[in-house]
Amino acid sequence: MTRSSNNGLRWAVVGAGRICEKHLAAITSEFVNGHLVAISDLDAEKARAKGEKYGVPWYTDFHEMMRRHPEIDVVDVLTPTGYHAEHVIALAPYGKHIVVEKPMALRVSDCDAMIAAAEKHGCRLFVVKQNRFNRAVVAARRALEENRFGKMVLGTVRVRWRRDQKYYDQADWRGTWALDGGVMAQQASHHLDLLQWFMGEVETVHCRTATRLMNIEVEDTAVAVIAFKSGALGVFEATVATRPEDLEGSLSLLGEKGSVIIGGPAVNLIKHWKFDEERPEDEEIHEAFSQDVPNIYGHGHIPYLADVSRAILDGRPGPVEAYEGRKNVSILAALYESAAQGGTPVHPGDPVKASRLGER
């Protein structure tokens, strides 16, 4: 991998939707030190707006973009989830490294096809999980790796956010089985990732879903009980039917030797931090590792993409590469299958028979 003239990587972006600005701001920040080459979106107005803002060429066909800019090092795919597999597989023959937004895909089989395409063409494939880079989450993960929790007992995530009908009506793919999925696949997939990252491999899930306030195909509310192979349990709660405003995106971790609660709207504030074996740094943990955030997206995109860049340039493992991203989709598929079967237990990896997720 060659370095660009500013000693960073040369990036292109495919998809100029809601999350695009977070990525563009991160790529061009001093921390990522990237050079934005071009942007593409099927919607010419969206592509033009971002291209003009960042002073780069814009395209409505990403194949044309790739042909015109062979200098590109990394392609950042920010299209609707149901198109991730199609777009990653189409981009892989260009031999560029690829970053794809969460979730990696809506079907495990699509994840496998994406991985196969990347491996065939020598690409590295990264999946966006920026909440792993929140300061509060980093502190809790360090405590886990230092065995401060001891045996894990219970993990809980709660996503209590607000989305209104206007949000779903902005694009015809939103809230559909084929291209989007519901609150579990979209808003809460980051939190599900954190739950398994801390609690370990999932044994079974029991899930129920409902569509209470939105006029959409998929769920706006979900609850699940998760059994981990370690014997620990988990609770997963997610809704976009919170009114009148966002309440929380939180993670609670309970172990035999200590407990941590990370709250705030975006898993950004340490609310509780207590271990049997206290350390001097624990006194400052709330101030040192909590962050105020402007919105539910938090501040994780910059450190995440910076770490992706360093992983590529240094030839080391990345923060969340393809197989790690596949885990999340496998658990999501099990949750949707369990819900489709009325809450019966499902193992990740079991055949999907009733769920419509990813159905076209």
pTM tops 0.75, yes or no: yes
Q: How far apart are CA 25 and CA 36, in angstroms?
A: 10
d(CA 103, CA 326): 9
pLDDT of residue 89: 98
Query: Distance between CA 110 and CA 103 in Å, rounded?
Result: 11
Answer whether 85's CB lies under 8 Å from 110's CB. yes
- Element at 306 (helix H, strand E): helix 301-314
Which residue type occupies 310? R
- pLDDT at residue 2, rounded to an integer: 44
Tens-binned pLDDT, residue by residue, of the chain (360 aa): 444 445 799 999 999 999 999 999 999 999 999 999 999 999 999 999 999 999 999 999 999 999 999 999 999 999 999 999 999 999 999 999 999 999 999 999 999 999 999 999 999 999 999 999 999 999 999 999 999 999 999 999 999 999 999 999 999 999 999 999 999 999 999 999 999 999 999 999 999 999 999 999 999 999 999 999 999 999 999 999 999 999 999 999 999 999 999 999 999 999 999 999 999 999 999 999 999 987 777 789 999 999 999 999 999 999 899 999 999 999 999 999 999 999 999 999 999 999 999 998
Residue 146 contacts residue 121 (beta carbons within 8 Å): no
E strand or H helix that includes residue 206: strand 202-210
Burial class of residue 86 (count of CB atoms within 10 Å of its CB; 0-12, 13-18, 19+): middle
Which is nearest to 279 in space by CA: 264, 262, 258, 261?
258
C-alpha to C-alpha distance for 154 and 220, rounded to whole angstroms? 25
Number of CB atoms found within 10 A of residue 252's CB: 19
Rg (CA), the chain: 20
> Which among 186, 182, 180, 195 has a CA at the least distance from the CA of 267?
195
Q: How much is the pLDDT for 93?
A: 98
Domains of the chain: 10-129+302-320 (3.40.50.720), 131-293+327-340 (3.30.360.10)
Task: Return the amino acid letter for 267.
Answer: V
Rounded to a whole number of angstroms, the distance between the first and last alpha carbons of the chain is 38
Which structure tokens are listed for 52? 């003009």
